[in-house]
Amino acid sequence: MVLGKKLAKETLLPSVLEDGDAETESEKLQLGEQRLSGTEVDMRGPKDQRSCPEGNVLDRGESEGEEKEEEEENEEEELGGVECVISDEDYDTDLELRDKKEAYDPTGQTCYMEACEALQVVPASYFLRHMQNSQLSMMHRGLGPQGTKALAVPLVTNTSILRLNLQDNWMEGMGGAAIAEMLKENCYITEVDLSDNNLGDYGARAIAGMLKENSTLASLNLSGNNFTDRSAEHLGPALITNSKLQHLDLSHNALGERAGQNLGDSLSENTGLRSLSLAWNCIRGRGAVMLANGLGGNIFLRTVDLSFNGFGKEGAIALGQALKENTVLEELNVSNNRIPPEGAIHLAMGIKVNKTIKSLNMGRNPIQNAGCYGILKSVQENPDSAMEALVFTDITVNQDFEDLYTAVKEMFPALTVHRGGRVGAFKKAKA
């Protein structure tokens, strides 16, 4: 084998060097002398002797020349045969090694193991067993940033997984960025749950960049990731650009007043979202008003959850105006928003003309009986109302409300009202 490689090298080397522009004539002559040392000298001798007029010398030269030529032909055949066999073997061996090294792995297990080794993390056996399923659920696995990076490598080319759940893996911003980069390339995954992963503003920025490029993701859960107003500055423009995302959950974050303004501007121009959850944030004041205005201009959202914020009176007034303008919203949850009775009355003005809202949750707001009565009265005065459920959890009502509910029930038999209780009910039961 060594001899073959040496011979192959000596055979190929001159042709390569002859193509070089920088080679000098002396180097060419030296190489020519090395290749033809002795052979050409012997062959020139007889040719020169042929010009000699003496016949015996010519005969001897011809006989010697013929012997030399036969010997050289035999040597060339032997060497040529060796070179051919060895070079063919070397070529076949290289091809086999190349095939083994670059063989395509449809399962993605090989690249995942290599990624784990490079990132020095323990491979997740659950992932190896379920990476060809249509749904992959890896909640509470403690992947961390590095484990998430390794997981993202095979997911780039994975064509089996359609729904991905990575809730509560503490992947942080770096891990979230790795998933975001993966989703830029993967065009099969349609549902992703990244809730409770402490992505922070860094992760939000990476997710926003992904949303501007991804055209297949339909559902995204980003709940509980410590997003702040700065996160909303990145997510807002992404929601304007993206028209494929239909369900977005941003609940249990730290989105404040400025976030409400940014998201409000985006919602008025968004053309894809069907449901949005902003529950358990800190949206209040000016941010609440701007967000409500954005809902008024949106013509695609069907379900909105704004519970556990601080909309108050101003936010409720803005929501009432939004319900006058919005003609597609079907479910609205504004429970636990510190809305007073005056705010509920203004919101009822929107209910009075709205024709699409089916469910309204006003539970655990200090709207008292007056607020509940005003909202129910607005349903009664709207013959085109589509209302099916009113929720007044933990709000006590009086007999006037009960009488009104009986009358409204005759007009809208499908309407159900959930309330906290009735004033004086305990005394009558005791009697």
Could you tell me which residue, 202 or 49, shows the higher pLDDT?
A: 202
Which CATH number covers residue 203?
A: 3.80.10.10
Q: Are 147 and 121 in contact (CB under 8 A)?
A: yes
So what's the pLDDT on residue 377? 98
Domain C-terminal end among 101, 131, 150? 101
Percent of the chain whose pLDDT exceeds 70: 74
Give me the domain span that covers residue 29: 2-101
What the block records as the tokens of 368 is: 């008292």
pLDDT digits (tens, 9 = 90+) for 131-176: 999 999 999 999 999 999 999 999 999 999 999 999 999 999 999 9
The total number of structural domains in the chain stands at: 2
**Does residue 106 lie within any of the structural domains?**
no
pLDDT surpassing 60 at residue 407: yes
| DSSP reduced 3-state for 90 | helix
**Among the listed residues 174, 173, 178, the one whose alpha carbon sits nearest the alpha carbon of residue 164:** 178
Q: Are residues 162 and 311 in the same domain?
A: yes
| Rounded Cα distance, 283 and 196, in Å | 20
Q: Are residues 291 and 232 in the same domain?
A: yes
**Does residue 200 lie within any of the structural domains?**
yes
pLDDT digits (tens, 9 = 90+) for 174-186: 999 999 999 999 9
pLDDT surpassing 60 at residue 126: yes
pLDDT surpassing 80 at residue 60: no
Q: Are residues 85 and 158 in the same domain?
A: no
Give mean pLDDT, residues 223-252.
97
Give mean pLDDT, residues 308-319.
98
| Rounded Cα distance, 296 and 340, in Å | 21
pLDDT digits (tens, 9 = 90+) for 324-360: 999 999 999 999 999 999 999 999 999 999 999 999 9
pLDDT surpassing 70 at residue 425: no
So what's the pLDDT on residue 108? 87
